[in-house]
Structure 1
Amino acid sequence: MPLSEEELRLLEQMERALLQEDPKFASTLRGTSFRRAARRRAVVAGVVFVIGVALLMTGVITQLPVVGIVGFVIMLGSATVGLAALRSKPVAHTSPSHPSHGFTVFEGGRRGRNRRTHASFMDRMEQRWQRRRDGNAGW
């Protein structure tokens, strides 16, 4: 749902105030550093994965099961970190007509998935809470 003009104006004022009060924190919220960090973690995880494959093959060739097991564990850990880094890239929504000085709006930190079919745990808990409040007249 798009923001109204009043909400856009308030958001812009808050962004300017944040930029004036804490420019370093505001620069981390711009979104580019998040993508760079995720990309960097994925690349490092790929390199470590290759090292794990080399250790696994070394363990097989030298018939040392401990070295092979260590290589496999390294591969498993790096694959987990790499996939988590690739999945954690936020979906950014920017509007060229919006004067937000390069800020990127993230949808509550959520990935770009359909919320109607796959409600998150927090969404379901919030819906339950609202039903309880509505059913008890606020008490």
Structure 2
Amino acid sequence: MALSERERQMLEEMEEAIRAEDPRFASQMNGAKRIVGTDRRRVVVGVVGALAGLGLVLLGINTSLWVGVAGFVLIVAAVALALAPTRGSSGIGVVTDDGSVKKKPARRPKGTTTGRGATTARAKGPKQGTFMERMEQRWEERRREGHG
């Protein structure tokens, strides 16, 4: 059923309000139409592998426990292969003020030089404290920002 002109206008106004209020949410909703980084061939191989694994599980019920276990492992591996993103396409990005998503550049290995001649390890600076101490510091900062 088609929308009337007034309904379309109201829908567009609501979309604009959502984009203005929460650009990250709006960009996520725009990107939710397709799975990022999937490859049809990998999905087909994953489905075929999962079906073969299911066959092994059913065969393992009648024969040996180890055949069933191998079938289960094959199912898990096939599903992981099918759902894993491809190497070249990273779905990670930064949401800009206008709501669009800007892709993050690929990370450089530690010790490689940046454009200014400094290495990334030195440019980033030393880490302060253990992992848990840094997490506690972040938690305290968030609590202070949220409550006053």
Q: Tell me the TM-score normalized by structure 1.
A: 0.36
- Between Structure 1 and Structure 2, the one with more helix by share is 1
Larger radius of gyration: 2
Q: Tell me the TM-score normalized by structure 2.
A: 0.34
